[in-house]
A and B are shown apart, each in its own frame.
Chain A
């Protein structure tokens, strides 16, 4: 299943495969998206039909994510694209914005569908199949607030975080930093290229204005002006590609890192809670020889589950990250190669044109 225009992200065989339809933006809604579950490969029993076609807004995706976070706190939930966009700065109805958001939402759903645990979540099922999402938003909001309060107010002090989770935290911090740097570099390049483009355009017009003065040099000058124009177009395309495809993915990973750090914190919290309860229980045991309370054992289970889930998710995340960045960076290289190929072709055809003229002139001279 996917959102928006066709983009193939690998989904493991068992999951439902989706078809992609272009979004329509209704007047009132910021984004309406068609989710179409399709294909003959549906082996999942919880889906009645092979195909579903539903309309969802961003709010609905947000609801889904919150639900997933609440119901599967030990797992890494993929991030959504940024919720708030400043009105007036970004045109929420512009094609580029809609397109970019659509791709991000598509990725979000695909990642969940790929996840061995999350893809079985009933909220996901509802999201993908129900005509109207009975969101009971008020309650959901309360629940969310409640949970976060619990974790903040929990305030248990963690004694010793296992080394592997420390390493995860450190990795995420450094990785986040590097992502930020790459984002800044990419933006700077875009800026420089845009300024270069401005000058290049003017450069082309000067050649065009020269044409009018000349006879023999008319064709070469027109040719050069034409090549410069072609190069301008190619550069424009490159810039567009970078800002539409490259930057959003970077930013998405920044959000991903944020949500992962959150999960790590929750893990810490549950470990701390367990340790505190254990300590309290031990003390009480010493006092009045009461058996280990069930809650403490439950806490221990919880922590162990959390750790296991997290480790598994971490591996999966690392693997996906590797794929994503490999794709992203090779994509960037491809776009640049493409840009140079277009320019080279233009200049080469100019030379052919001019050299033909030269041989033409020579033969007419000898005649």
Chain B
């Protein structure tokens, strides 16, 4: 692996610090720390930096990839005049985060596992290239990965996981990458209504957020166009001012304000990306919710199979005991055709069936318990998730409104300045 915990001095860093995203990160961190898991009381987790690396991949080809620096600091405050403890650090790439998440999915099937930021840049408005090495994308991914770690660290159950702890602290961590098949096709006879409703909600939410993200990109593109065209006023006012006497100065300075207006859209739209990221997190969360529902279906299905199997065996036993053939079976037919079996044979078959039925009843009891426990623990996590989602999205909408207000204020400022210049014409 590429970890180099501790000595970072010789490594060049290509990160751009985005103040606004840091501010909102802090808000997120504060919220999660408030919820107070034992882990977060002990340590502070950051994904501090991102760096480009080149190396040979599994098929021995040169590839360029990005690694992210995980920093762990003890959470206690530093005394006056004391030096802050140096953080423990290690480098991990995106694929390792993926492995961790897969491990969590398998180990805690009843928990809604927080999603990772997108693997590839999707839902881009035209300025951003769909390029995984683009510095803005890398930066937003860094924020997203930190977010993921904090979500796991603040989860009442997941935060206690040993493998997670090792992921944060030890370089050579083996993460189990065996996957249970989650896409099995099967039909459940008596699905739990709550899970059906939840899956339905999750699918709808997925659709609506995707739509929202798509349209938002189109809106951003158009708004970009509107602002940029105003820049042309700057040039023409300047040219016009050259042939004017008293009007010249006013026109010229107004032109500069038009240039400012046109340039302001870049920052505005960059800030909005943060809102898009918040929506994306929940878009990916819907996949996680969906997979919990599917796991429930799987367990429910297995339970139903076992129950059905048991019923079938009990009927067979009854048939055998009373001699009546209620259900068609090959054995029944053959005995009719070729004569009855002997008493001994019948008795040994009965005994075997009895055994099988007993085992079946044990299995059924176990499956029932498993199902019951799954539903209980899953539903606990689902309630927790719902609360989290409502809170987070509400805050996201508020911060979006704040962004809009800021954009309006900037617009008013620029046009007021221009108006002053026009008045001096």
A residues with CB within 8 A of B: 171, 174-175, 178, 181-182, 185, 188-189, 192-193, 195-196, 199-200, 202-203, 206-207, 209-210, 213-214, 216-217, 220-221, 223-224, 227, 322, 325-326, 329-330, 333-334, 336-337, 339-341, 343-344, 347-348, 350-351, 354-355
Contact = CB atoms under 8 A, between A and B. Distances in A.
A333 B404 contact: no
A188 B254 contact: no
Contacts of B247: 322, 325-326
Given A188-B229, A195-B222, A182 B236 contact: yes
Given A174-B243, A325-B425, A224 B401 contact: yes
Given A199-B222, A213-B204, A217-B390, A344 B236 contact: no
A340 B219 contact: no
A213 B223 CA distance: 29
B390 A216 contact: yes
B398 A217 contact: no
A181 B254 CA distance: 16
B139 to A, nearest CB: 26
A214 B218 CA distance: 25
Contact of A227 (B218, B230, B246, B404): B404
B415 interface: yes
Contacts of A325: 247, 425
Contacts, number: 138
A192 to B, nearest CB: 4
Given A185-B229, A213-B204, A344 B405 contact: yes
Interface in B213-239: 215-216, 218-219, 222-223, 225-226, 229-230, 232-233, 236, 239
23 contacts: A178-B240, A189-B229, A192-B222, A195-B225, A196-B222, A199-B215, A199-B222, A200-B219, A203-B215, A203-B216, A206-B208, A210-B212, A213-B205, A217-B394, A220-B394, A224-B397, A322-B247, A325-B247, A333-B416, A337-B419, A347-B401, A347-B405, A351-B402
A221 B405 contact: no
Nearest to B411: A340
Nearest to A193: B226
Contacts of A336: 411, 415
B379 interface: no
Interface string B407-425: 0110110011011001101
Contacts of A326: 247, 250, 422-423, 425
Interface of B: 201, 204-205, 208, 211-212, 215-216, 218-219, 222-223, 225-226, 229-230, 232-233, 236, 239-240, 243, 246-247, 250, 254, 390, 393-394, 397-398, 400-402, 404-405, 408-409, 411-412, 415-416, 418-419, 422-423, 425
B77 to A, nearest CB: 27
Contact of B236 (A178, A216, A341): A178
A314 B249 CA distance: 21
B219 A196 contact: yes
A192 B219 CA distance: 11
Contacts of B423: 326, 330
Nearest to B386: A216
A275 B85 CA distance: 97
A185 B232 contact: yes
Nearest to B401: A347
Contact of B401 (A200, A329, A339, A350): A350
A354 B398 contact: yes
Given A337-B415, A337-B416, A329 B394 contact: no
A96 B303 CA distance: 72
Given A192-B225, A195-B222, A202-B215, A344 B408 contact: yes
Contacts of B408: 340-341, 343-344, 347
B257 to A, nearest CB: 9
Contacts of A203: 212, 215-216, 219
A182 B235 CA distance: 10
Contacts of B216: 203
Given A182-B240, A217-B390, 14 more contacts: A175-B243, A185-B236, A188-B232, A196-B225, A213-B201, A213-B208, A223-B397, A227-B404, A322-B425, A329-B425, A340-B415, A347-B405, A350-B401, A354-B401
A50 to B, nearest CB: 36
A222 to B, nearest CB: 11
A196 B226 contact: yes
Nearest to A180: B236
Given A347-B405, A351-B401, A334 B419 contact: yes
Contact of A344 (B205, B412, B415): B412
Nearest to A207: B212
Contacts of A188: 229, 232
Nearest to B393: A217
Contacts of A347: 401-402, 404-405, 408
Nearest to B201: A213
A333 B418 CA distance: 7
B28 to A, nearest CB: 17
A344 B409 CA distance: 7
B229 A192 contact: yes
A355 B250 CA distance: 43
A199 B412 contact: no
Ranked 6 nearest A-B pairs via Cβ: A333-B419, A344-B408, A196-B222, A216-B390, A340-B411, A329-B422
B290 to A, nearest CB: 15
A209 B208 contact: yes
Nearest to A221: B397
Nearest to A197: B222
Contact of B398 (A195, A206, A333, A351): A351
Contacts of B393: 217, 220
Contact of A185 (B233, B397, B405): B233
B419 A330 contact: yes
A200 B205 CA distance: 20
B404 A343 contact: yes
Contacts of A221: 397
Nearest to A170: B243
Contacts of B416: 333, 337
Contact of B226 (A192, A209, A220, A223): A192
B412 A341 contact: yes
B219 A178 contact: no
Contacts of B394: 216-217, 220, 354
Nearest to A204: B215
A365 to B, nearest CB: 12
Nearest to A333: B419
Contacts of B201: 213
Contacts of B254: 329
Contacts of A348: 405
